[in-house]
Chains A and B, each alone.
Chain A
Amino acid sequence: MATRPQHTRGKKGRPKPARKGAAPELYKASKAQLIKFYREMLTIRRFEEKAGQMYGQGEIGGFCHLYIGQEAVVVGVQDCLLEGDSIITGYRDHGHMLAAGIDAGAVMAELTGRASGISSGKGGSMHMFSTRDGFYGGHGIVAAQVPIGTGIAFAHRYRRQDNICVTYFGDGAANQGQVFEAFNMARLWDLPVLYVVENNRYAMGTSVLRSTGSRELWKRGDSFKIPGKQVDGMNVLAVRAAAGAAIDQVRSGKGPYLLEMQTYRFRGHSMSDPALYRSKEEVQQMKAEHDPIGQVKKLLLDNKMATEDDLKEIGREVKAEITRAAEFAIASPEPEASELFSDVLVEVAS
């Protein structure tokens, strides 16, 4: 097993384990589950690589924030959810959509700004939604999704449903005031919301070390009595174990819970980010030692749950799916000009 990622630094700047002596709790996955995790993470990886390529070719415009490196977080959390549960996130949202089971073609066609995109070509990378799949966006304003996700949890409670809302946000959003406003109300009303901080160490170009007074983001709920836990977000089994336990608690009516997923994006903040704020060695080390997909691959092979050929076959299937999605996204027509004025308001029959 790979070691946990090391996010905090000792006095001399040497990396040290984030929580001394705390052995990671790992989910005991069956062979079928491990293969499912592998396939889902690989789908996100290949999708994002393709999106990055298409951005370079000018097929995708605007901002494009890739999820490469962070795949274990959504795949592990999503595996704990039940029919009717909701999720919401910020602008780095492609992976969340794929994990929620949304068609890769509809997501890719949104990135290319086509009528067949999931938002009819009017939202783009940062503004995608599929309430049918329990996915409430896709929000472009940093942290805006946190009160909104708390409100979705409020709606679950209002309707006496057993469902929960998973509200994802980044280490950058964790410093926004509205996050704490939402925490306060979530605790006050014991709302069924799981907050997942995806701490990928950098809010655009500013590292957590340079932007936060307290780096222990899992303790951010302390003054609201929201329990928190720090998790190796590069290890899908650690994510699955922590999310499972947290979600059981949230679903049982005990109110909100906060998970800090220590993760890492292998790419820049967006396609236009040269990532000069971190060393190539750091990125290389993370890729070599903590790649979430590499870890699962190793487990599968070491435990003889799959052969190299089995995994190559999965790789081919995933690649074919992504190729189909990309071809669909490029071949689809742009929205009709008449769509410029549609969906601003819905008319009411008076």
Chain B
Amino acid sequence: MSITITMPALSPTMTEGTLLKWLVKVGDKVEPGDILGEIETDKATIELEAADQGTVARLLVAEGTEGIAVNSPIAILLEEGEEKVPEEEIPATPSPQPSPAEGRGEQTPAVSEQLSAEKPKELEKAAPQIPSDVKTKQMTVREALRDAMAEEMRRDQRVFLMGEEVAEYQGAYKVSQGLLDEFGEDRVIDTPITEYGFAGLGVGAAFAGLKPIVEFMTFNFAMQAVDQIINSAAKTRYMSGGQMAASIVFRGPNGAAARVAAQHSQCYASWYAHCPGLKVVAPWSGADAKGLLKSAIRDPNPVIFLENEILYGQSFEVPTDPDFTLPIGAAKIERAGAHVTIAAFSLMVGVALEAAETLAGEGIDAEVINLRSLRPLDTAAIVESVKKTNRLVSVEEGWPFAGIGSELAAQMMEHAFDWLDAPVARVSGDDVPMPYAANLERLALPSAAGIVTAAKAVCYR
């Protein structure tokens, strides 16, 4: 019986990878622990080790093949005593498509069919709305964030990046890739694992007139630093009568990634949005990521910039003009519709657009608002939409109690009560710590189906 080697999942959110290089050839004998090849994930290049003893019988994918789905067969080993691989044991190969070597900078978009069913599909077709005369380039959210930081660091010497693994490691999620090379160790600074300390140090540097970008590896760890964020960064402008303040960006992935359970899967949107003295931004698309991060860095106030790990690898058209920014505090209608308004932010915008497609098939024309900014909240845009649709569904990954949806519901009571034909419906993460088991995690998070159900309910369908 031959042994099939498959594309391994090397991170919680990895759905596919590139086979960079084989380090073995057909006929080689391998032992457990031998390096078979190198795999490039969205975060890093990692060696593929043999787990079994055997002889390499087939290499099923060519070097340089991109977009190989996790669990697809990539090689076959013969066990001791086997002469050749029986035909029926050769799995179907995943149609290798070697890419030109110099094409790595502009990767082809991820093949959505190869993504697992739970992952949100890319919906860039629903989100053009960039004027046709603006030059754009397709890039991942990860690249858009990197470009935003690089452009702002070129523009303003006061801007620097600090955080865990941002420099030599090139970013725990590869967001800061290449920045150390361009800007040097004075401006791209690896910190010890010491969130409270480096958040406070960043605030001090900001008080002294620099413009730090403080990266949290994830916002889960920022709870260790929350005193410096709220008590020092957010309140000092007020406490000093306007004479001292922090122009600082705290950024990093927020919300559930995949299968990392309760302590690593939490949405902090409503926590920070609660606090005066902060701006809170949550981009969805690549253009959001770039335009809003550039605005956040230029902003003289402390800005909480909530990214999403699952979005990092998704590709969008992004304006290339280094002067392109998006205003903080302006929502965007991603899909116009007449029957129901769905307000979402970050990853959930994509899920809401998916739900809107389903609803369209059932005769319900949904308008999807990408909130982009939670503080300030573009209440006027939501009210305008509700005046047209008379119905609102809010969508967030976070918990329902005192969440962003609660705030949207209250805002509609105050500003759009007479226009509502149904109570505001909230779709949110379930009111439990995030479970680990795949099925339970799926249940705990908002889904397109859940949004469809809520939208139908407010339409009395």
Residues of A within 8 A of B (CB): 86, 88, 117-123, 127-132, 136-137, 139-141, 144, 146-156, 158, 177-178, 181-182, 184-185, 188, 342-346, 348, 350
Contacts and interface: CB of A to CB of B under 8 A. Distances in A.
Given A136-B244, A139-B232, A348-B299, A148 B238 contact: no
Interface in B236-254: 236-245
B109 interface: no
B199 interface: yes
Contact of A345 (B201, B227, B243, B279): B279
18 contacts: A88-B204, A120-B241, A122-B238, A128-B240, A131-B207, A131-B244, A137-B236, A144-B200, A147-B198, A147-B204, A147-B228, A148-B204, A149-B204, A150-B200, A154-B204, A154-B208, A344-B277, A346-B300
A149 B197 CA distance: 11
Given A141-B232, A144-B232, A182-B200, A130 B243 contact: yes
Nearest to B248: A151
B287 to A, nearest CB: 16
Contacts of A151: 200-208
Given A151-B205, A152-B208, 6 more contacts: A130-B243, A137-B236, A147-B204, A151-B202, A155-B210, A348-B298
Contacts of B196: 147, 177-178, 181
Contacts of A130: 243
Contacts of A146: 200
Contacts of A345: 237, 276-277, 279, 301
A141 B237 CA distance: 16
A343 B207 contact: no
B402 to A, nearest CB: 21
B243 A158 contact: no
Q: Which of B198, B199, B201, B242 has the most CB of A within 10 A?
A: B201
Interface in B132-166: 160
Interface string B184-205: 0010000110101111111111
Contact of B203 (A131, A148, A342): A148
Nearest to B330: A350
B232 A148 contact: yes
A177 B224 CA distance: 11
B27 interface: no
Nearest to B242: A343
A251 B443 CA distance: 59
B186 A127 contact: no
B209 interface: yes
Interface pairs A-B: 7 shortest CB-CB: A151-B204, A181-B197, A147-B200, A120-B241, A155-B208, A148-B204, A343-B242
Given A139-B232, A141-B227, A155-B209, A184 B192 contact: yes
A131 B244 CA distance: 7
Contacts of B200: 144, 146-148, 150-151, 178, 181-182
A182 B279 CA distance: 26
B231 interface: yes
Contacts of A141: 227, 231-232
A296 B276 CA distance: 48
A144 B231 contact: yes
Interface residues of B, number: 42
B327 interface: yes
B201 A147 contact: yes
Interface in B319-347: 327
Contacts of A182: 197, 200-201
A196 to B, nearest CB: 16
Interface of B: 160, 186, 191-192, 194, 196-210, 227-228, 231-232, 236-245, 276-277, 279, 298-301, 327
B208 A156 contact: yes
A156 to B, nearest CB: 7
B238 A343 contact: yes
Nearest to A149: B204
A233 B371 CA distance: 56
A261 to B, nearest CB: 22
Contacts of A122: 238-241
B298 to A, nearest CB: 7
Nearest to B158: A158
Q: Which of A120, A131, A155 has the most CB of B within 10 A?
A: A155
B418 to A, nearest CB: 28
Contacts of B245: 346
Q: Which of A121, A184, A188, A345 has the most CB of B within 10 A?
A: A345
Contacts of A184: 192, 194, 197
Contacts of B201: 147-148, 150-151, 154, 182, 185
Contact of B205 (A88, A155, A178): A155
A158 B197 contact: no
Contacts of A177: 196
A223 to B, nearest CB: 14
Contacts of A185: 191-192, 194, 197-198, 201
Contact of A123 (B209, B240, B298, B300): B240
B204 A188 contact: no
A252 to B, nearest CB: 20
Given A141-B227, A150-B204, A344 B237 contact: yes
A178 B225 CA distance: 10
Nearest to A179: B197
A167 to B, nearest CB: 9
Contacts of B209: 155
B216 to A, nearest CB: 15
Contact of A344 (B206, B232, B276): B276
Given A137-B244, A149-B204, A144 B239 contact: no
A151 B198 CA distance: 8
Contacts of A152: 204-205, 207-208
Contacts of B300: 346, 348
Contact of B198 (A117, A136, A181): A181
